Amino acid sequence: GARSAIGRARTMPAPNDDPPRFRFAMASCANWQYGYFSAYRHMAAGNFDLVFFLGDYIYESTLSAADSLKAVRPHDGPTATTLKAYRNRHALYKTDPDLQALHASTSCLATWDDHEFANDYAGEWSQTVDTDPKAFLRRRAAAYQAYYEHMPLRPRSKPNGSSMSLHSRRRFGSLASIALLDTRQYRSIQPCALPTTRKGHVALDSCTDRLDPNRTFLGAQQEAFLYEGFHRLDTAWNLIFQSQLVAQLRRRDAEGNMGVWTDCWDGY
């Protein structure tokens, strides 16, 4: 007895087509609790060829009671850890009328960062050192399943337990090749962990662990996918869409010491 609103999808130009331009928009880090995202409404009106969601489409974490006064729009429950809770969180975000308008306006491609599952996780490792690894992977399987159910993905991305293939390549005629990457699922554990946490922090230059050549951000298979594409692509532009800052970011810790942030490419 329900009927959805009418939306529009766009087909990519054929491989040999020569489109005069490629107009796209990007969105990330939309924490429902902290406000309204009118940018979605402007993007919906922008007549874009594609919209890219580059991570943190939802936030799994709910503000603590002490911080709840900061919430503009409260979440619908505690921090998500189960399949039901992740499904409800996605459904809550999808009630935003501006986000609905954006999805109805054009086609979207999506990849994740950490908050679709758990803050600052790296591969199979939680940010919290004492987390049970098996329980963590069960939680990851729930988060990945809910993501697959609610996002515009192809059947090949259907999860297999706690694993899910998300990286892909698209072609926009002869103008652009698009590599969409997964910078969370295959990465090595964060370097130079603190006593009780591996979460992102400012690591000083004395942290040599991050420079180990065996460390990886994308995983060997995804790196090979990316490099192989570079060898054979013949489009005018090669575009990489992913969730983390690539340029080095130097910043100070609480004591004023200069270092780099461990949770982005600088940590790898």
pLDDT of residue 232: 86
> Rounded to an integer, what distance in angstroms lies between the CA atom of residue 210 and that of residue 222?
20
Q: pTM value?
A: 0.95
94-146 pLDDT, tens per residue? 999 999 999 999 999 999 999 999 999 999 999 999 999 999 999 999 999 99
243-264 pLDDT, tens per residue? 999 988 899 999 999 999 999 9
Question: What is the amino acid identity at position 117?
Answer: F
Structure tokens at 192: 């130079």
Question: In this model, does residue 52 exceed pLDDT 90?
Answer: yes
Structure tokens at 96: 């935003």
162-179 pLDDT, tens per residue? 999 999 999 999 999 999
Structure tokens at 249: 């970011």
Task: State the distance between the two ends of the chain, measured CA to CA, in whole angstroms.
Answer: 51
